[in-house]
Structure 1
């Protein structure tokens, strides 16, 4: 694929829309908080790989009656007591081996038999291998996906990075719509063909069967967004991610 084709694929998946669901902030007003559509009723559990030094997101979900299923082999557990949460000392990956578990196997072991789920993933670029082996039937269980996407400029400019990332963008783009996008200003940006692209973005996706309407979002950041690095300006969303060409 050409660089223009790679840019178009990312833009088509990451372009955010107003889908008729109010956005609410879950978690801290800073790192660890995310904007979600106010469509949490009926979500049975949140799968949350990658455990930070604080767990305000999972604590807020507990107030909604949503338990968190957490995993991270680099720590012994969450730093805070989270009502209803479970923890596995494992990394998430493409296949289960040693201290690595696939998302499919993790779901088989922990997911309720019925009902919608949520996925909140911030695992420092390890998100891409996870989707290489994830069956569609597992992805269908998630109503909301909140994911931090890394190495955006490398995906756009380096074919080998793009091929590793493509399964994720194909899978999510086929069944979900982006409802919010926020750049990580602590990670910086890089110019690609004269356009500044953030190195890292946080994206919130809603499964298409939950969408009420679909109107382009033209102004970001959202009033509830908070910069990751308080001493730096926000990084602008590339125009091609906000407006369809033509």
Structure 2
């Protein structure tokens, strides 16, 4: 039987472990990016963690935050150490390791992945927080999440009331080039839209390890670190243009990757 051009393309791509999909309309991708344009926080930025991978910029608005939740444990814990040295108890979770890479008396470890449901290997963010904090603890929290693509399901599964407790949220979003995949966009876009109901983006830093993809006039770094500040901490809606920030550092020794201009500065059509 003679194969159609589409069938031939599907077979050819399958050999390369790839698959054709429906393309997200350009205007939908552009709108989502515009909603993520960073706003200016009322306080200066500080860097928690090392220069390089594992360090993140957050507003200097940590007073009163006594607890940090940090799912995803890597080979360094500089961010977590800096949070602990700020007086926070730091809860860490990851089923792929047996504990943090270094010790601090303020560290607490859970050997489970954070996900959309709770079972023997996974636990939801909501269940983890409830099990970790004493009854009656209603103070502000900090969330730093680098969980290799599971961040979207976690955001969708987390009650809005819990998200609102996190004054500052740092998330490394993965596979952002897949926003051009219509079906990925539906999930990731809704997760981001949910977060933006309670928080505003205040900083973005591209991870230079995985490069970027350009389609139409839109360039999307495949992995980027986002910092969100709860909206009640903002004093106005002024868009930032100071990228890269002086405290930004490349993640690896490869060539740097600047934040594309379509990702900041306000309305860009």
TM-score by length of 2: 0.86
Larger displacement relative to structure 2 (65-74 or 171-180)? 171-180
Please state if 1:90 is matched with 2:116. no
Aligned to 1:127: 151
Deviation at 1:98, TM superposition (A): 1.9
SS at match of 2:229: strand
Deviation at 1:215, TM superposition (A): 1.7
CA deviations 1:60-100 (Å, max 9, x no partner) are 11111011110000000001002211000000100111210
CA deviations 1:166-192 (Å, max 9, x no partner) are 232112111111111101111110112
SS at match of 2:157: coil
Distance 1:42 1:23, change over 3 A: same
How many residues end up aligned between the 2 structures?
Answer: 244
Q: Which has the larger radius of gyration?
A: 2
Select the residue among 39, 44, 51 that pairs with 2:66. 44
Select the residue among 181, 190, 204 that pairs with 1:167. 190
CA deviations 1:89-140 (Å, max 9, x no partner) are 0001001112101111111111352200010000111101112221111111
Give the unaligned 5+ runs of structure 1: none
Deviation at 1:52, TM superposition (A): 0.9
CA deviations 1:194-228 (Å, max 9, x no partner) are 43210011010100111123321113110000011
SS at match of 1:69: strand
Give the unaligned 5+ runs of structure 2: 1-23
Aligned to 1:32: 54
- For residues 31-180 of structure 1, the aligned pairs below 5 Å read 31-112=53-134, 113-155=137-179, 157-180=180-203
SS at match of 1:140: helix
Q: Which runs of 4+ in 1 moved over 3 A?
A: none
Deviation at 1:10, TM superposition (A): 3.1
SS at match of 2:156: coil
Distance 1:20 1:76, change over 3 A: same
| Equivalent residues of 1:18, 1:216 under 8 A apart | yes
Deviation at 1:58, TM superposition (A): 0.6
Larger displacement relative to structure 2 (229-238 or 69-78)? 229-238
Once residues 171 and 105 of structure 2 are traced to their aligned partners in structure 1, the CA distance between those partners, rounded to angstroms, is 23
Measured on the aligned residues, the alpha-carbon RMSD in Å equals 1.5
Once residues 187 and 242 of structure 1 are traced to their aligned partners in structure 2, the CA distance between those partners, rounded to angstroms, is 24
Larger displacement relative to structure 2 (90-99 or 225-234)? 225-234
| Equivalent residues of 2:211, 2:257 under 8 A apart | no
Deviation at 1:43, TM superposition (A): 0.6
